[in-house]
Amino acid sequence: MRFVLLLTSLMILLTSCKSTEEFSGFSYDPPDVTDTTDKELTPQYKRVIGTGEPTVWVSNMFDGARLNDFYAKNDSLFEVYIRPENAPINNSPWYAFKIWSDTLRSAKIKINYQDATHRYVPKLHRPDSLGSVTLSDYEELAFEYDSTDGTAVIELELSEAPLYVSAQPLQTTSDLMEDLESRNIVGHDFVKHKRAGLSKKGREIMELEITEVAPDQKAPVLAIVGRQHPPEVTGYLASLSFLEELTSDTELAEQFRNTFVVKAFPMINPDGVDLGHWRHNAGGIDLNRDWENFNQPETRVVRDALSRLKDHDRRIMFYAIDFHSTNENLFYPINEEVKTTPDNITQKWIPLIKENNADVEFTVEEFDTSSPIAKNWFYHTFGIDAVTYEVDDRLETDRLDEISRSAARSLMQLLLEEWHHKNLDN
Ligand SMILES: [Zn+2]
């Protein structure tokens, strides 16, 4: 009997070691994804290209743009070429370009991807005379998908006034501060923002601290990271709605801020975002596979900012969320069997989110802690529970905002209860 028990525990030990040593990427990852030393980028040349007579023009000369080439196929069909920053790469082909014509005309535009097939529903917006645009200005375009070559064709009414076509609403580094202001996230005494460090190309990685806890008071910390993957705009917008709720003037938010410290890094891949990347940073690397080796400056910046809390005598890391997007609303919790402190926060939180949003589908897929992703770094470093929070690419922005805010409210409630329990137990 004793022998059997020993053998069982030995087997468990072997299995867990094995998975730690052998993680080489998820099913959708390209080979060598865990080698996070710099890989070469294929440059995107910034330019305006005109073709045909009368001429149709395109431009990629703005932040977030991705367009590599442009041709006229015939009088009415044009082709836009979209290439990734480097390959192999996951199939999340981001595109964003500006298009106009010397004359009023309609034109079919085929979007042709290298190393990928069409994924994101095209969005159209026309900036007003001041160049400003809000989320509600984006309209989804009808498109014809060709499954033989993975292209999509859209039809546009062109004029001299430029139209913008993009895979998702453009949300670049210059929008971040503006959005934090317009959403009333910054501008309170209890919100501090600073530069946590710099990206590979010298862009700011912003850190927000939200709290009304006195410096000498013992307090738990909620960490939020996001936008490791540039095209994952719905997850990014969800993180901003989340922060909006945490900084609101509700009684719950006030109570939360009087108990908790929030450390948020809403855009940790600013180079990838502004350079119109499909997934990687300017080192050509998937940042969410670099949380073990820390070969990239962006992951190091966040690691260094948060590692300080490890031996802090008044701050206790408590829970962490990493915001992403995919083709469904999906939570990746840490396996329920893995003991964390506090334990199974995600497993307690998800039913509350489901209950408050009964009309929305949420998928839950638990994982072990072997992969070099942000969530697992939080677990391995602090022993806490954490979640990868994936938002549906196609989730409409108003609904996204409501769900995210209600998720923020249920989490604040839950974390407050967990913290009080912990203090009662002690
Ligand atoms: Zn992602």
One DSSP character per residue, 335-356 reads -TTS--SS--HHHHHHHHHHHH
Q: pLDDT by residue (tens digit) across 122-156?
A: 999 998 777 778 898 999 999 999 999 999 999 99
CA distances from 317 to 187, 259, 387, 423 (A): 25, 13, 14, 15
Q: pLDDT by residue (tens digit) across 205-255?
A: 999 999 999 999 999 999 999 999 999 999 999 999 999 999 999 999 999
Cα gap 90→65, rounded to integer Å: 19
Domains of the chain plus CATH, in order, are 48-166 (2.60.40.3120), 173-425 (3.40.630.10)
Distance of CA 246 from the midpoint of ligand 1 (Å): 23
CA-nearest of 324, 359, 292 to 23 is: 292
Distance of CA 321 from the midpoint of ligand 1 (Å): 12
Query: Which amino acid type is present at position 38?
Result: D
What are residue 26's DSSP bridge partners?
none
Paired sense of beta strands 219-226 and 261-265, if any: parallel
Distance of CA 109 from the midpoint of ligand 1 (Å): 28
Cα gap 106→156, rounded to integer Å: 6
Give the confidence band of 426 by pLDDT, cuts at 50, 70, 90: low
Cα gap 106→76, rounded to integer Å: 8
Say yes or no to pLDDT of 204 above 50. yes
Give the confidence band of 21 by pLDDT, cuts at 50, 70, 90: low
Distance of CA 388 from the midpoint of ligand 1 (Å): 9
Phi-psi region of 236 (alpha: psi -120 to 50; beta: other; left: phi over 0): alpha
Say yes or no to pLDDT of 16 above 80. no
Distance of CA 77 from the midpoint of ligand 1 (Å): 34
Q: Average of pLDDT values for 354-377?
A: 97
Distance of CA 55 from the midpoint of ligand 1 (Å): 38
Mean pLDDT of the chain: 93
Q: Starting at the earlier edge strand, list the strands of the sheet with 385-392.
A: 191-198, 204-210, 261-265, 219-226, 315-326, 385-392, 330-333, 363-364
CA-nearest of 95, 178, 109 to 142 is: 109
Distance of CA 299 from the midpoint of ligand 1 (Å): 14
DSSP 226-272: E-SSTT-HHHHHHHHHHHHHHTSSSHHHHHHHHH-EEEEES-S-HHH
